[in-house]
């Protein structure tokens, strides 16, 4: 019987081979470069010919005055994105769930979902024009209301919040669809029983809809914990500038500037390795929490 099952499953295993080959080539193959974190890497000498320096780069990183500030920026921006990215989709899904006209509901869903498909290169170009202090529509509107113009992308105090707001603007449509799907799976008999008992829409939302989607909310929250050190390289790189480095610089952009800008390949790799190890621990913890509180398992 086992042999027969093996023959039936063989085509499925063969279908996995191309994907497995790509993973080995592009995900595991480059991990050889981790050795650069422990070398004074010289591209002319390669991995085998470069001098080994042990933990020197990690000690050097720890002594840099910018390192802790970059880590704080990364964690702060990531946590704000996680919080805002949780609240906005849930609120929008609850509001759309109350819309009776299907055409209007589907139209709003489509409009909200569209920015998800835009790359940050395109999105950043749009945002730079919209938030421009000279000709941007946002500052023009503020001027009509009598407020002074705001340098959104050049003010170090505002920049982290601009990152969070624009990230929510781009991605919350996707989360809205996830929560709408969870709401659609709620047993209609619960609402029918609530109507018989005289409950209004607010009471049904508070005592039926929200408790019913708690498992998916917990799941999305715990899975997002693994991305605490991923504050969004594409977004930050396309929107930031030297005037906001103090509050907008994150680990990924820091590594990019050190490695490619200054040619310190060993130091940049050491920062990247530090981030990867911490991210691995956070992802492991998040999956443990997802299994415990949301009964979610990969295998």
The per-residue pLDDT for range 160-205, each reduced to its tens digit, is 999 999 999 898 888 888 898 888 888 889 888 888 888 888 888 8
42 within a domain of the structure (yes/no)? no
44 pLDDT higher than 70: yes
Number of domains in the chain: 1
Report how far residue 63's alpha carbon sits from residue 68's, in angstroms, rounded to the nearest whole number. 9
127 within a domain of the structure (yes/no)? no
110 within a domain of the structure (yes/no)? yes
Contact between 217 and 90 under an 8 Å Cβ cutoff? The reply is: yes
3 pLDDT higher than 90: no
1 pLDDT higher than 60: no
Report how far residue 281's alpha carbon sits from residue 122's, in angstroms, rounded to the nearest whole number. 33
62 within a domain of the structure (yes/no)? yes
140 within a domain of the structure (yes/no)? no
Q: What percent of the chain has pLDDT over 90?
A: 10
Give mean pLDDT, residues 249-264.
81
43 within a domain of the structure (yes/no)? no
**What's the domain range around 173?**
54-117+157-294
288 within a domain of the structure (yes/no)? yes
Give mean pLDDT, residues 91-109.
85
CATH of the domain at 177: 1.10.3720.10
141 within a domain of the structure (yes/no)? no
DSSP letter, residue 35 = G
Which helix (H) or strand (E) segment holds residue 40: the answer is: strand 39-40
């Amino acid at each position: 019987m086992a042999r027969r099952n093996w023959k039936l499953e063989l085509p499925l295993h063969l279908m996995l081979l191309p994907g497995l080959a790509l993973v080995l080539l592009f995900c595991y193959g480059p991990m050889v470069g981790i050795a650069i974190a422990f070398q004074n890497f010289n591209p002319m000498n390669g991995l085998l010919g470069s001098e080994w320096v042990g933990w020197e780069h990690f000690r050097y990183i720890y002594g840099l005055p910018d390192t802790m500030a970059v880590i704080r920026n990364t964690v702060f921006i990531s946590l704000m994105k996680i919080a805002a990215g949780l609240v906005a989709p849930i609120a929008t899904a609850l509001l759309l769930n109350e819309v009776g006209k299907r055409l209007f509901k589907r139209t709003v869903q489509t409009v909200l979902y569209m920015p998800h498909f835009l790359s940050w290169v395109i999105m950043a170009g749009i945002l730079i024009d919209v938030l421009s202090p000279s000709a941007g529509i946002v500052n023009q509107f503020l001027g009509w209301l009598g407020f002074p113009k705001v340098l959104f992308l050049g003010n170090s105090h505002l920049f982290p919040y601009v990152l969070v707001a624009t990230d929510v603007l781009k991605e919350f449509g996707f989360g809205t669809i996830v929560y709408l799907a969870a709401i659609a799976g709620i047993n209609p008999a619960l609402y029918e029983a609530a109507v018989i008992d005289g409950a209004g829409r607010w009471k049904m939302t508070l005592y039926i809809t929200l408790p019913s989607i708690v498992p998916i909310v917990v799941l999305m929250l715990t899975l997002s914990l693994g991305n605490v050190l991923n504050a969004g390289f594409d977004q930050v790189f396309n929107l930031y500038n030297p005037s906001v480095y103090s509050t907008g610089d994150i680990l990924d952009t820091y590594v990019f500037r050190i490695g490619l800008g200054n040619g310190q390949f060993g130091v940049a790799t050491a920062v990247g390795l530090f981030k990867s190890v911490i991210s691995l621990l956070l992802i492991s913890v998040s999956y443990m929490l997802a299994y415990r509180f949301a009964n979610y398992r990969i295998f």
